[in-house]
Structure formats: structure tokens, C-alpha cells
Amino acid sequence: KRKRGEEQISDLVKQVEELDLKASLKNFSDLPLSEPTASGLSASHYKTLTDIQARAISHGLKGRDILGAAKTGSGKTLAFLVPVIENLYRKKWTELDGLGALILSPTRELAIQIFEQLRKVGRNHHFSAGLIIGGKSLREEQDRMGRMNILVCTPGRMLQHLDQTAMFETNNLQMLVLDEADRILDMGFQKTVDAIIDHLPKQRQTMLFSATQTKKVGDLARLSLQEPEYVSVHESA
């Protein structure tokens, strides 16, 4: 018999609590994921977890801060998108709850790629998601921002909105993702990211992903993460 939605969510909450962080995981189906996410992943032909996904997603689902390092092409995007979607789903996030997750990406091109993956794997969810990368008038973006649950943004544009968009609220934010943090810093966005973080609630989950672990990334991690889980995947020889 099909369980009612409420009951399914409380089952899922329990499964995530009981999830063994040491268990070795092979497939997305080994994780306690909602039906809309599981079906979105399989419709996108994602079945086997990459190494970084197998090691990071469980911590992400449990609300832990993460410092994740793995080379380009290793699947870092889903390592944070799956927890972002699932954690909002288990909190029964709706349009009325406002912005739940903010994902920062160094370039427009990378932000677009994240947004496309979010649209694919999140296709069976009802969250509103926006891409804020400039190129449109600030005004046009401002009108949409207040209604978004998940935003994918470049740092400069995000700070512009935080400073100038009066109705844009971040009080309820649950999760911050700093993707490709090494590139964000290489591109000179250190101060911009610091200023964005100043606008956000201190109580939140932060997931920082990077292709390389540089000193600057370490500094940003110290500033933005609380007791993070370090997940670093090295290439085997």
C-alpha cells in the first residue's frame, strides 16, 4: 500500500538519522533518498556513485559541513545537489519558506551547468530554482528572487542583490554551497564571498568543494565551515 506523503517523509528522516557513515556505498539506491530524487536520478541515467559522491553525500544528508576535494570531472556537482534537494525536501520546504539554498559558482558557464543538472535530477520536485548570473537587468532578476527556493549564482551578482534588492531575504537559508572554491579565489572573489557570507545566517550547513586544496581554500574553509567533514579523493596511480 502506498504510504501517505507525511509518513514517507518521517520514514526518510529516520533512515537518514540511522544512516551509517562508514557503510560503503555503490549506487544512489544505497542512499536514503526521496522517491522524486531517486526517480530523477534514474531518469537522468545516474546509477553508480562516483568516489566523491559515495563519501560526501551521506555527510551532506546528515546536515554536516563538508570540505570536499576531488579533481575536475569527478562528479562534485551531484555530491552537493543531492543533499541540497533532499534536505529541503525532508524539511517540507515550500515557496513560502523562501530561499533555502544558495550555490555559488565562479563563472556563468559553470553556474549554468549546475543549474542544468539541478533541473534534470530535480525534475520531479516542486522547488523553484533560479540562475542569477547577470546578463539580465538587475530589476528583472529582482522580481524573481524573492520566490526562489534554490539559487545558483556567480559571486559578484549575488553580492549586488544582497546589497541592493530590498525584498530579498536570506534569514531562512539552510545551506550554502561554495563550488569550485579554488577557482572562485583564483578569480579574485575572496572579499566578495566574505561579504556574501556576512549577509547569511550563521546557523547553516556549508558545503565547500574544490578541485585543489590550496592555502586560500583552507583559509576560506576556516572562515565558512563549522567542524567540517574532510572528504578528499585522490587519483589512484
What are the residues binding Mg ion (CB under 5 A)?
Answer: 76
Which residue bears the cell 570536499?
A: 68
If contact means CB under 5 to 8 A according to the sort of partner, which of ligand ADP, Mg ion, none does residue 177 touch? none
Q: Which is nearer to ligand ADP, 32 or 98 (CB)?
A: 32
Q: Interface with ligand ADP by CB under 6 A: which range of 45-53, 136-144, 162-170, 184-192?
A: 45-53
Least separation, in Å, of the C-beta of 201 and ligand ADP? 26
Site string for ligand ADP, 24-43 (x = CB under 6 A): --------------------
Q: Does 236 bind ligand ADP (CB under 6 A)?
A: no
Task: With CB under 6 A as the rule, give the number of residues binding ligand ADP.
Answer: 13
- Footprint on residues 46-75 left by ligand ADP (CB under 6 A): 46, 48-50, 53, 70, 72-75
Coil, helix or strand at residue 101:
strand
Across the beta sheet with 66-69, the strand order is 129-132, 150-153, 101-104, 175-178, 205-210, 66-69, 229-232
CA-to-CA distance for 44 and 82, rounded, in angstroms?
A: 13
Q: Which of 55, 76, 161, 204 binds ligand ADP (CB under 6 A)?
A: 76
State in Å, rounded, how far the first CA of the chain is from the last one.
49
Pair 224, 208: CB distance under 8 Å: yes
Minimum CB separation from ligand ADP for residue 110, in Å? 8
Closest by CA position to 53, among listed 109, 107, 121, 2: 121
Q: Which is nearer to Mg ion, 12 or 78 (CB)?
A: 78
Specify the stretch interacting with ligand ADP by CB under 6 A; choose among 6-14, 76-84, 122-130, 192-200.
76-84
152 binds, among Mg ion, ligand ADP, none (CB under 5 to 8 A by kind): none
Could you tell me how far CA 81 lies from the centroid of its own chain?
5
Q: Read out DSSP for 158-215?
A: HHHHHHH-TT---TT--EEEETTHHHHHHTT-HHHHHHHHHHS-SSSEEEEEESS--H
Using CB under 6 A, list all residues that contact ligand ADP: 46, 48-50, 53, 70, 72-78
